Structure 1
Amino acid sequence: MFTGLVEQLGKVLSAEDRRGQRKIQVKTGFSDIKLGESVAVNGVCLTVSEFTPKGELSFFVSEESLDRSNLGALAEGSRVNLERAMLPTSRMGGHWVQGHVDTKGMVLSLTEGHDHWKITVALDPKYGRYCVEKGSITLNGVSLTINSLIETKLNEFMVTFLIVPHTWKHTNLSELKSGDTVNVEVDILAKYIEKLCRPQIPSTPLSAPSSN
């Protein structure tokens, strides 16, 4: 479990495809990592498979994670947002983030304001029901507040965010440009509420019982 508060930016040292999986090595500033520990890389929960005293961590990315995220596009030199799993004593500064990316969104525009940057992202409409104005969502592992929602008659769905200077400076959101993809994880609480509130339809027998 994570909070969506990025701890640091890492740098990809290598990315190697292996039979439907991908092995990536990332240079980090972490000095107390353990084998098997969970780290969110651009919002994707990955397991540390190798590490060095210099903070170089290796991860294997599954085919499922490659399909749903932008980790397949990483190359040597790419910068990634990193967050270690939260502790029970940690402050919940962001929101509940699992590190299970739902889908990829596409950056439509970035504009600079007086004290913020505005990002507009196109999202698969089927995830729109989990988004509410001023609600939480995760982009590339960063916990963000939804500023506004835009739905069109063409069944297009867009979400806008206002990024404050600290987040802009300390995450890779500042490197985005129009056309880039971002990892999106919607609020898990919204999914649970939807399932719990969904009408329960009793199952119907395949055939009526015999009257004999």
Structure 2
Amino acid sequence: MFTGIVEELGEITGVERLPDGARLTVRGPLVTTDAKHGDSIAVSGVCLTVVDVDGESFTVDVVHETLRRSSLSKAERGKTVNLERAMAADGRFGGHVMQGHVDGTGVFLSKDSDGLTHFAFPPTLGRYVVEKGSIAVDGVSLTVAGIDKEEFSIALIPTTLALTTLGRTEPGDLVNIEVDVLAKYVEKLAAVHLPGTAVENGEGKEDA
């Protein structure tokens, strides 16, 4: 589990395309200090399993499903990424509950004169995004300032801009979106009690 508090900016130093996915090498001096084989590290919001650690770099495998759903499909050497280790049991809960399971990609649109940053997102995720609710963008825990159909806005403080990739994002760039997992569970649990309501992966029916 993650909380969306980015620990450091890393850099993709190697990309190997494989028949069933890709293998990435990422430099992260802080997150590798105690990393070992099998650990989880979120790379721009995507939970990945460490398969090797070499000095200040770690290697992860990325399957097709992850490439399809996230911006890692466009991973390239030299790209800067947000890094966060899985939350320790005795750690502070600074953000919100995040799994590192990206729901889809959004697009950075613009920043207006009021300091709000605007993103487009898939319409299928709209029901999970609420004003003043939590959302993760490239692995950063953020609060929704406003929402309008297929677009939402957030207010980014200077610290977030300086310490995450969101300060380097340009209009048109893809970003990883993870909605609040609690909203998805509530939807599925409530659906069985609402006549005519169907949800994905179960269509309102309880699992056997």
TM-score normalised to the size of structure 1? Answer: 0.88
What do residues 67-109 of structure 1 show as CA deviations (whole Å, max 9, x unaligned)?
0000111211100000000011111110000000000001111
Q: Number of paired residues? A: 192
1:5 aligns with 2:5: yes
Match of 1:184? 177
Shift of 1:175: 1.2
Q: Secondary structure, in 3 states, of the residue corresponding to 1:23?
A: strand
Determine the C-alpha separation between the residues in 1 that align with 2:44 and 2:109: 19
Give 2:158's match in structure 1, choosing from 149, 165, 171.
165
Shift of 1:162: 0.6
Determine the C-alpha separation between the residues in 2 that align with 1:123 and 1:58: 29
Matches within 5 A, 1:118-129: 118-129=116-127
Determine the C-alpha separation between the residues in 1 that align with 2:11 and 2:89: 28
Match of 1:31? 33
Q: How many percent identity over aligned positions?
A: 43
Rg larger in structure: 1
Structure 1 contact 107–179 (Cα < 8 Å) conserved:
yes
Determine the C-alpha separation between the residues in 2 that align with 1:31 and 1:146: 33
Structure 1 contact 110–177 (Cα < 8 Å) conserved:
no
Determine the C-alpha separation between the residues in 2 that align with 1:73 and 1:110: 24
Shift of 1:112: 6.0
Matches within 5 A, 1:1-212: 1-29=1-29, 30-52=32-54, 54-111=55-112, 117-151=115-149, 157-200=150-193
Amino acid at match of 2:35: I
Structure 1 contact 43–99 (Cα < 8 Å) conserved:
yes
Determine the C-alpha separation between the residues in 1 that align with 2:38 and 2:113: 40
Determine the C-alpha separation between the residues in 2 that align with 1:45 and 1:112: 34
Shift of 1:118: 2.4
Determine the C-alpha separation between the residues in 2 that align with 1:133 and 1:110: 18
Unpaired stretches in structure 2, ≥5 consecutive residues: 196-208
Deviation >3 Å, runs of 4+: none
Determine the C-alpha separation between the residues in 2 that align with 1:194 and 1:36: 32
What do residues 44-66 of structure 1 show as CA deviations (whole Å, max 9, x unaligned)?
000001111x2210000010000
With 123-132 and 192-201 compared, the bigger mean Cα shift is at 192-201
Determine the C-alpha separation between the residues in 1 that align with 2:59 and 2:113: 35
What do residues 183-205 of structure 1 show as CA deviations (whole Å, max 9, x unaligned)?
0000000001111111347xxxx
What do residues 148-199 of structure 1 show as CA deviations (whole Å, max 9, x unaligned)?
0012xxxxx1000110011110000111111111000000000011111113
TM-score normalised to the size of structure 2? Answer: 0.89
Determine the C-alpha separation between the residues in 1 that align with 2:122 and 2:11: 29
Unpaired stretches in structure 1, ≥5 consecutive residues: 152-156, 202-212
Determine the C-alpha separation between the residues in 1 that align with 2:8 and 2:142: 17
Amino acid at match of 1:162: A
Amino acid at match of 1:68: R
